[in-house]
Structure 1
Amino acid sequence: MALTQTLAIAAGGAVGAVGRFWVSTAVYGWLGRNFPWGTLAVNVAGSLAMGFLYVLLVDRMAGPAEVRAALTVGLLGAFTTFSTFSLETLNLIEAGEPLKAGINVLVSVALCITAAGLGVLLGREL
């Protein structure tokens, strides 16, 4: 992998990580911490953006490798939080909240796949 592509991923990752912190913090401030709302919000938004950018950068424009890597691997890779989702779900199970854990898994997977599909549809409409 070229150095420029690696640096592009690093830059995108820095932006995505900070964006994840800001968005999830705002969502938790709004909805509270009784459910992993912040993680759900960033994962759904990131899935929507991934579907949309995939169409734009791969299907439509075949953008430069550095731009694709910065936006998808870097920015969205750091913005979405599957590892956090996994840990929060495990914490719910360990806290004796298996119903909340199950709801988190089902809602997260369903909404994120739907959001990615919506992103692809939106990208194709351009």
Structure 2
Amino acid sequence: MVYIFVGIAGFFGAILRYSIGLALFDESKLFPFATLMINLLGSFLLAFLTTVVFKRFLIPAPLKTAIGTGFVGSFTTFSTLSVESVKLFQSHHLLLGFVYVLVSLLGGLGMSRLGFRVRKEEETG
């Protein structure tokens, strides 16, 4: 049954990702802002959900898996990050490629940390 929940949540995460990508994507722009924003938001969202929402509310384990793995997992995309990075490097935009990779990785870690900090601030505040 959990597979069905993951699939349904994954469907909605993928649709949301695609919709945001369409809204933010402009072929004339060289830098992949849409993927970067989606992945940074997803990093925060997963940390926030697992440390705040899933701790505060009694959510069944299959639903937690569906939301975390299905929805957030299909919303974010490491494969697109990889392909866009390689395209930047292949088109000799080395600086932009390195900036994209660094901001994606460090920004993702920072956004995850921010999601965890929300929980800590609630506990102390």
Say whether the fold is shared (TM-score over 0.5).
yes
Deviates more, 1:51-60 or 1:88-97: 51-60
Deviations 1:41-78 (A, max 9, x none): 10000001001011135544463111111110000000
Give the corresponding residue for 1:10: 7
Give the corresponding residue for 2:117: 121
Give identity over the alignment, percent. 30
The two structures have a TM-score, normalised by structure 2, of 0.88
Aligned mate of 1:22, from 11, 19, 22: 19
Give the corresponding residue for 1:64: 60
Distance 2:80 2:62 in 1: 27
Distance 1:22 1:119 in 2: 24
Unpaired runs of 5+ residues, structure 1, are: none
Aligned letter for 1:95?
A: S
Alpha-carbon distance, 1:34 to partner:
1.4
- Change in Cα spacing, 1:44 to 1:32, as seen in structure 2 (3 Å) is farther
Distance 1:69 1:121 in 2: 22
Distance 1:33 1:70 in 2: 34
Unpaired runs of 5+ residues, structure 2, are: none
* Aligned-pair Cα RMSD in Å: 1.9
Give the corresponding residue for 2:49: 53
Distance 1:102 1:62 in 2: 42
Distance 2:15 2:108 in 1: 21
The two structures have a TM-score, normalised by structure 1, of 0.88
